[in-house]
Amino acid sequence: MHRFANPARFLKIARVATPLLVVPGLLLTIAGLYIGLFASPPDYQQGDSVRIMYVHVPAAWLGSGGYLGLALASAAALIWRHPLASVAARAIALPGALFTAICLVSGSLWGKPTWGTYWVWDARLTSMLVLLFLYLGYLALSSAESEREDARGAAILSLVGVINLPIIKYSVEWWHTLHQGASITLTKSAIDPAMLLPLFLSLGGFTLLFGGIVLMRMRTELATTRVRVRNRRMAEAHA
């Protein structure tokens, strides 16, 4: 892992990997959303509102998975003090927050026709809202600490927030919730194969786009840092 943590080597790989993630990501997302909207069957109970699943479920998985990635990168930054790990954590936070927000809003829009309400303070919904606040807290704290080289507050906050991930996952089992339990596990699925196709296309597309956005944001921060360091050195040389 340390071999790839060299910024120059990382940039070389990232320049090749970015279009390889973004272009197929866009194609898969377009295919998934098109099939989800127009070519998949309505649910026998929920009717057409089930089509919201094709954006809601992948957004939920990426919101939670993104936070795990953020926490792992923060842990690597705290343990090995490698700046690339901090750059990765900061790059993950905004797309992670976006997917969590998409999950919450699309879930709310799905809730009205199926449950009769946009929102209930149910364990799954509340723990996802807490996840959004954790992302926003991390973004605010890392922005406030951006000038400090020994800053650790945002990384520590992200590690503390990991406790929320099993709460999100098991909330539907630990408490009586309005939100349904898992329809897909590693071994079985309660979803019709005609609905699984757009779901997995969207999931694949969103995941690739998430990766592409993270790489672009990392490249931006590395280039900005290079310019800032060069400008500082030039100012010191002229002083």
Would you count residue 105 as binding another protein (CB under 8 A)?
Answer: yes
Residue 62: name the closest of 208, 236, 222, 185 by CA: 208
DSSP letter for each residue of 2-33: GGGGSHHHHHHHHHHHHHHHHHHHHHHHHHHH
Smallest distance, Å, CB 59 to another protein? Answer: 7
- Tell me the site size for another protein, rule CB under 8 A: 39
Would you count residue 49 as binding another protein (CB under 8 A)?
Answer: yes
DSSP letter for each residue of 154-194: HHHHHHHGGGHHHHHHHHHHHS--SS---SB-SS-B-S-HH
157, 134 in Cβ contact below 8 A? Answer: yes
Smallest distance, Å, CB 129 to another protein? Answer: 16
Would you count residue 120 as binding another protein (CB under 8 A)?
Answer: no
Smallest distance, Å, CB 94 to another protein? Answer: 7
Smallest distance, Å, CB 179 to another protein? Answer: 16
Q: Which stretch binds another protein (CB under 8 A): 101-109, 124-132, 145-153, 186-194?
A: 101-109
Residue 85: name the closest of 1, 28, 19 by CA: 1
202, 26 in Cβ contact below 8 A? Answer: no
Distance CA 190, CA 57 (A): 14
Would you count residue 106 as binding another protein (CB under 8 A)?
Answer: yes
Beta carbon nearer to another protein, 11 or 167? 11
| CA 74 from centre of chain | 15
> Sign of torsion, CA 113 116 119 123?
negative
DSSP 41: P
Q: Which stretch binds another protein (CB under 8 A): 1-9, 70-78, 94-102, 124-132?
A: 94-102
Would you count residue 27 as binding another protein (CB under 8 A)?
Answer: no
Smallest distance, Å, CB 131 to another protein? Answer: 16
Distance CA 37, CA 42 (A): 10
| Range 189-228, binding another protein (CB under 8 A) | 206, 209, 212-213, 216-217, 219-221, 223-224, 226-227
List 9, 112, 173, 182, residue binding another protein (CB under 8 A): 112
Would you count residue 51 as binding another protein (CB under 8 A)?
Answer: yes
The residues that touch another protein, with contacts defined as CB under 8 A, are 22, 29, 33, 37, 42, 47-49, 51-52, 55-56, 59, 94-95, 98, 101-102, 105-106, 109-110, 112-113, 206, 209, 212-213, 216-217, 219-221, 223-224, 226-227, 230-231
